[in-house]
Structure 1
Amino acid sequence: MVVIGSDHGGFELKERIKDFLRELGEEVEDVGVFSEESCDYPDIAKEVAIRVAQNGSKGILICGTGIGMSIAANKIKGVRCALCHDAYTAEFARRHNNANILAFGGRTTGVEIAKQMVKIFLSTEFDGGRHQRRINKISDLEAL
């Protein structure tokens, strides 16, 4: 299951990525938005982040730049949302950071790059080892 959401700035790309996810055989839960009408990105980030934190799925968030969505999502305990720009950052968001939400910009990311990042993000495993110690330290920060 992949939970996906966008604001108005990411709506068009979100629709393309939903189709791509289905082509990959993924089940998709779209929490909105459902048009290009202006909305507040923290509301969508919250919905995706809560679902990911509760059910252990992966998520995708898209706003104009991906910045606001990633900041908002990372306020939810258990979420590690990574703002990625290319295949390399998507791969290492998973390998080293065990990111569970991928964020990118609908106004800054081309469709083919977004598809590449999504495919890599969903297929890359966490390396564990020394990286787990660091993830544990990140989790400790949530208690502050």
Structure 2
Amino acid sequence: MDRSPSKFVLLLMAAAATWSFFLVADAGRLQPSCIGRERDVLLAFKQGINDTDGNLRSWQKERQDCCQWAGITCNNVTGHVIKLDLGGRYYLVGQISPSLLSLEHLEYLDLWGTRLCGPGGRVPEFLGSLNNLRHLDLSGMSFSGMVPPQL
């Protein structure tokens, strides 16, 4: 067997090229899907909504990866739901469910222009308990009463 350094280097380069091909090919499949309990939270949230225009038709239990649902963004490393953007979906009518409190990693909540509300048509107080929330847009919504001091 020939043990020349040049053949050894060529063998190493071929092995590295093969491994890099498989790593790049698999990169698209490495993204995590959503966390199961967070998918259940989103489905519970949807239960209180009448979606007359089909905006949330992708929100189905059969579609396991909620990161692929309309208006949902997940952290591409952990799979946690970090963004719920339903703004401008005027045909969403109903209650903003306190189930959202279970989305502990939620950073962005946009409900502008929807016809969602809390109990009694008010701004839900529990929104002030979303600890990681950095963006909240409730503009264009018709709430009654005062804005809770938690917000």
Return the TM-score normalized by structure 1. 0.30
Higher share of residues assigned helix = 1
- With CA pairs under 8 Å and 6+ residues apart, which has the higher RCO, 1 or 2? 1
Return the TM-score normalized by structure 2. 0.29
